[in-house]
Amino acid sequence: MRANRSISIWIDLENVYYGLKKYHMDPDHPEPQHNLFLRLQEHYGKQAIRMMEVYADFEQLDLSLHHLQKKHVHPHQVYGNGRGGEERKNAADIQLCLDAMDVLHTVPEVDTFVIVSADQDMIPLMDRLWSRGKRVELFCLRDESLSKNAQMEAFCDVSHNLFEFLNIPQFQNLSQMDRLLQDALIQIYEWYEDPNNADKSYGSTWIKKDLQRKINLTEGDANHLFTKMVQGKYLLPHEITVDGNTYYGYRVNLAHPQVRTVIRIAGYRVS
């Protein structure tokens, strides 16, 4: 552990948030081994970190600012255009770069700049910091969304894979079918977690219709995915009797190790 506070951490939180959201992961995960902020503090040592700055349009993210601040994280609100997905735009990366350059010139004792982002717009900042004699470390999700042409690793001293750092390596190389399977399992689990569905059973017809509607599947793909979940024991039959009537449906199989992993890493407590 370093004796001086020489490390600054710069998190393009919106980039990381939506990257992890594809895997139903929360950067402020309730379990410390999957929590981005606690893992960074553990990795570098709290006493060595001078600042941990995060940038996003927090009005668009399902995160608690109070919980972040309790972890000594400094949030920076950067308003965007209010849209989601690929149409989402804001100036978070620009503000991050400006603030990091300000620290470069005004806080010389900071010798290490940690960048947490897969956005190739970070490359000019990383190159400038490195050319000024600073150590530059990068954390990013290495999946299909990371531009191979950008070669961000060439502009830093060391690069870390967030899949391994956050202890979720099994999610790095998911196939499209595996990703859909994960989405479907979370959807079915959350259906039963909804208080409005207490004492109800989620039937196969409604599951397939919701797969089509919520994760944009064709009828054929929804049928194929549902069959895969049943045959693979990811789902188990479930029945409930109300007023003498029996209703049949399916629940996720929490005894299945893969199902347990998906549900737990999504932030739910699995007994």
Core vs surface per residue 15-24: b (16+ CB within 10 A) or e: bbbbbbebbb
User: pLDDT by residue (tens digit) across 100-128?
Assistant: 999 999 999 999 999 999 998 999 999 99
Q: What pLDDT shows up at residue 92? A: 87
Domain 7-169 has CATH 3.20.20.70: no
Read off the tokens for 104.
């470069």
Domain boundaries, the chain: 7-169, 176-265
How far apart are alpha carbons 50 and 103 in whole angstroms? 11
pLDDT of residue 241: 87
Question: CA-CA distance, 140 to 118, in Å (whole number)?
Answer: 5
The domain made up of 176-265 has a fold known as: Arc Repressor Mutant, subunit A (1.10.10)
Taking residues 233-260, what's their average pLDDT?
A: 93
Q: Quick one: DSSP state of residue 75?
A: E
| Alpha-carbon span 57 to 82, nearest angstrom | 9
Residue 57 — pLDDT band, cuts 50, 70, 90?
very high
Residue with tokens 């017809």: 205
Q: Give the CA dihedral 94, 81, 34, 48, nearest 10 degrees.
A: 30
- Name the residue among 101, 69, 90, 113 with its Cα closest to residue 14: 90
Q: Report how far apart the first and last C-alpha atoms of the chain are (Å, whole number).
A: 36
Q: How far apart are CA 128 and CA 113, in angstroms?
A: 11
Rounded to the nearest angstrom, the gap between the alpha carbon of residue 147 and the centroid of all alpha carbons in its chain is 18
Does the pLDDT of residue 147 top 80, yes or no? no
**pLDDT band (50, 70, 90) for residue 2:** very low
3-state DSSP assignment of residue 83: coil
Out of 4-13, 55-64, 140-149, pick the least confident: 140-149
Average pLDDT, the chain: 91
